Structure 1
Amino acid sequence: MADLCSMPPKVLFPSSNQTLEPVLGSQITLNCTVQLSFEKDCNSVFHWMKDGHWLDNESSQYTSEEKVWLSNNGTEFTSSLLRVNLTSDEDYGVFACLIRNITATFTLQRSEAAGHVSAVLAAILVLTLLLFLAVIYVKCRLNMLLWYRDRYGELEINDGKLYDAYVSYVDSPDDRKFVNFIMKPQLENRHGYKLFLDDKAILPNSEPSADLIMNVSRCRRLIVVLSYAYLEQDWCNNNFREGLWRLLELSQRPIFVAFESQYREIAHPAINVLKQHKNAVTLLLWRAGSMTPSSDFWKELCLALPRKVSYHAIMGDPQIQLQEDKDPMLILHSSYLEYHGDPHPEGDLGVRRSILRGLPPPRVIGPDGPPAPAADVMEEVHLEEGPRNEIDISDLGSRNYNARTDFYCLVTEDV
Structure 2
Amino acid sequence: MADFCSVPPEILAPAANKTLELALGSQVVLNCTVRWAISEHCEPVPTWTKDGQWLGSENRQDSMWLGQNASERLLATVLQVNLTRDADFGVFACWVSNATATFTLRRGEVVGHVSAVLAALLVLALLVLLAGLYIRCRLSVLLWYRNHYGELEMNDGKLYDAYVSHATAPDDRKFVHFIIKPQLENRYGYKLYLDEQNILPNAEPSADLIMNVSRCRRLIVVLSVAYLEQDWCNSSFREGLWRLLELSKKPIFIVFESQYREITHPAISLLKHHRSTVTLLVWRAGSMTPLSDFWKELCLALPRKVAFRGTMGDPQTQLQEDKDPMLILHSSYLDSRRDPHPDGDLGTGLRGYAFRSPLPPHISVLGGPTALATGTQEDTQLKDSHQSEIDVSDLGSHNYGARTDFYCLVTEDDI
State the distance in 1 between where 2:379 and 2:284 align: 59
C-alpha contact 1:5 1:39 (8 A) present in aligned 2: no
State the distance in 1 between where 2:114 and 2:67 align: 50
Q: Show the 5 A alignment for 1:4-403.
A: 5-37=5-37, 39-42=39-42, 44-51=44-51, 53-57=52-56, 63-73=59-69, 74-110=71-107, 115=112, 120-311=117-308, 313=310, 392-395=373-376
C-alpha contact 1:22 1:110 (8 A) present in aligned 2: yes
Query: How big is each residue's C-alpha offset from its partner over 1:137-182, in whole Å with a ceiling of 9 and x where there is no partner?
Result: 2222222222232333333223332222111112332222211221
State the distance in 1 between where 2:28 and 2:145 align: 60
The Cα of 1:107 is off from its aligned counterpart by: 2.5
State the distance in 2 between where 1:129 and 1:397 align: 69
Q: Secondary structure at the match of 2:374?
A: coil
C-alpha contact 2:6 2:40 (8 A) present in aligned 1: no
Distance change >3 Å, CA 15–CA 218, structure 1 → 2:
same
Q: Secondary structure at the match of 1:253?
A: coil
The Cα of 1:30 is off from its aligned counterpart by: 0.7
State the distance in 2 between where 1:398 and 1:20 align: 98
Larger displacement relative to structure 2 (224-233 or 118-127): 118-127
State the distance in 1 between where 2:378 and 2:291 align: 52
State the distance in 2 between where 1:200 and 1:191 align: 26
Q: Secondary structure at the match of 2:140?
A: helix
State the distance in 2 between where 1:27 and 1:202 align: 85
The Cα of 1:116 is off from its aligned counterpart by: 5.7
Distance change >3 Å, CA 105–CA 308, structure 1 → 2:
farther
- How high is the sequence identity, in percent, across the aligned residues? 62
Distance change >3 Å, CA 307–CA 49, structure 1 → 2:
farther
The Cα of 1:47 is off from its aligned counterpart by: 3.7
Q: Secondary structure at the match of 1:223?
A: strand
Q: Secondary structure at the match of 1:213?
A: helix
State the distance in 1 between where 2:42 and 2:209 align: 112
* One-letter amino acid of the counterpart of residue 7, structure 2: M
Q: Secondary structure at the match of 2:241?
A: helix
State the distance in 2 between where 1:118 and 1:126 align: 12
Q: Secondary structure at the match of 2:373?
A: coil
The Cα of 1:135 is off from its aligned counterpart by: 2.4
State the distance in 2 between where 1:313 and 1:10 align: 96
Q: Secondary structure at the match of 1:392?
A: helix
Q: Runs in 1 of length 4+ with deviation above 6 angstroms? A: 396-399
Larger displacement relative to structure 2 (31-40 or 296-305): 31-40
State the distance in 2 between where 1:120 and 1:104 align: 39
Q: Secondary structure at the match of 1:193?
A: coil
Distance change >3 Å, CA 102–CA 308, structure 1 → 2:
farther
Distance change >3 Å, CA 215–CA 93, structure 1 → 2:
farther
* One-letter amino acid of the counterpart of residue 233, structure 1: Q
State the distance in 2 between where 1:118 and 1:55 align: 39
Distance change >3 Å, CA 27–CA 287, structure 1 → 2:
closer
The Cα of 1:254 is off from its aligned counterpart by: 1.0
Distance change >3 Å, CA 133–CA 215, structure 1 → 2:
same
Distance change >3 Å, CA 122–CA 398, structure 1 → 2:
closer
Aligned length: 325
The Cα of 1:398 is off from its aligned counterpart by: 9.7
Uncovered stretches (5+) of structure 1, i.e. residues with no partner: 319-388
Q: Which has the higher contact order (CA 8 A, sep 6+)?
A: 2
* One-letter amino acid of the counterpart of residue 19, structure 2: T
* One-letter amino acid of the counterpart of residue 62, structure 2: E
State the distance in 2 between where 1:243 and 1:103 align: 94
Distance change >3 Å, CA 392–CA 269, structure 1 → 2:
same
Q: Secondary structure at the match of 2:199?
A: coil
Uncovered stretches (5+) of structure 2, i.e. residues with no partner: 312-317, 319-369, 391-402, 409-415
Q: Which structure's CA Rg is the greater one? A: 1
Root-mean-square deviation (CA, aligned residues, Å) is 3.3
